[in-house]
Amino acid sequence: MRLSYYTLQEWRKRRTLHGDRAHIGSGRAYASADKPAREIELEKEIGELRRANEILKDALGFFAKDRKR
């Protein structure tokens, strides 16, 4: 894989401007660069808990349907 000089230059510029948050995750690091790290961590945890709740709701529906038989 070859990278162009300009790609590397852009990555270096982003790293200089945004520090460790410059290349994290799916590219949303810039939008959340002004948020405190704790707030970002809590938002991730909220997302995980919501997904867990959806899984539990699906499981409850599955077992409730099975129990009616």
Q: Which is more confidently placed, 43 or 28?
A: 43
Q: Tell me how far the alpha carbon of residue 43 is from its chain's centroid.
A: 9
Which amino acid is present at 18? H
**Selection from 25, 11, 55, 4 nearest residue 63 by Cα:** 55
Q: Give the torsion sign (CA, 41, 44, 7, 3).
A: positive
pLDDT value of residue 55? 92
pLDDT for 34-66, tens place per residue? 778 898 899 999 999 999 999 999 899 888 876
CA 46 – CA 52 distance, rounded (Å): 10
Ranges of each domain in the chain: 1-34, 35-69
Q: For the whole prediction, is pTM greater than 0.85?
A: no
pLDDT value of residue 44? 92
Other beta carbons less than 10 A from residue 59's beta carbon? 10
